[in-house]
Structure 1
Amino acid sequence: MVSIKILIYAAGACTLIAGILHLSLASNFIGFNLPVGIFLVAGIGQIFWTLPIVRIWGKIWNYVGIGGTIILIIIWTITRYPNIPITGRGLPVNSIGVTIEVLQIAFIILCAHTKQLH
């Protein structure tokens, strides 16, 4: 059976890497598009969220992290639809965006699995 510590560190690594990738996206576009600030805030939040996950601060921290990550996934999904009122057109799907979403989904699954083991 997989150690719970390994799952916790894997969840922390997922959110840390997703946060770093969000910051890299924000740094590329911050001067061109103000809503890109969402990526900046998300990246900082995800990098910070590594600490409560790895240090096991408690269930509430995990639930808030999972909820925030679900919101980010929903925002990403909505902004990819064509003819949306927010941007007027769907944003492109690229490899970094897909990687971030995979990491965020892995974070949710790992956090949920560690809660089942407690």
Structure 2
Amino acid sequence: MGSEMANTNRTLLYLGAAACTGIAGILHLMLVPSSIIAGIQYTTFFLISGLLQLFWVLPMVKRWGRIWNIIGFAGTAVLVGLTGYVIIESVKNPQSTPPGITELAVAIEIFQISYVIITAIIIVTKR
């Protein structure tokens, strides 16, 4: 019984991580149209980030292994820093931030941080 419960909990961790990265990816892709005006570098960043995060649902659901978990953890940790920077800049300079961007960035940050925490638990408790 204990082993079944552990497997169920582990499955929930992987599915939770997959959901968090998938939602963050969708939210990043939602920023693509409004970022076109700001410049190609922002559009490219949001497009690549969103697509990679959507792709990363697959390694989590399929449990591709520790190296994939570590890469996903590290990549998302970098995105947490970059998204945090965007939030800080938009709060410091609200007139240059299109409406809704700060709120969307906060939502992205929440899902990315959740992914990082869940993935850290998966990595640390790996059997």
Whether 1:97 and 2:108 are equivalent positions in the alignment is: no
Give distance in 1, aligned partners of 2:10 and 2:106: 27
Say whether the 8 Å CA contact 1:19–1:42 is kept in structure 2: yes
> Which residue does the alignment assign to 1:108?
116
Alignment deviations for residues 71-108 of structure 1 (CA, whole Å, 9 cap, x no partner): 111122234455xxxxxx68756111001000000001
Q: 1:26 aligns with which of 32, 35, 43?
A: 32
Gaps of 5+ in 1: 83-88
Q: Does 1:48 align with 2:55?
A: yes
Looking at secondary structure, tell me which structure has more helix per residue. Answer: 2
- Whether 1:16 aligns to 2:22 is yes
Give me the TM-score of the superposition, normalised by structure 1. Answer: 0.83
Q: CA RMSD in A?
A: 2.1
Residue 117 (str. 1) matches residue 125 (str. 2): yes
| Count of aligned pairs | 112
Shift in CA distance, 81/98, structure 1 to aligned 2, threshold 3 Å = closer
- Name the counterpart of 1:63: 70
Q: TM-score, length-normalised on structure 2? A: 0.78
Q: Highest Rg: 1 or 2?
A: 2
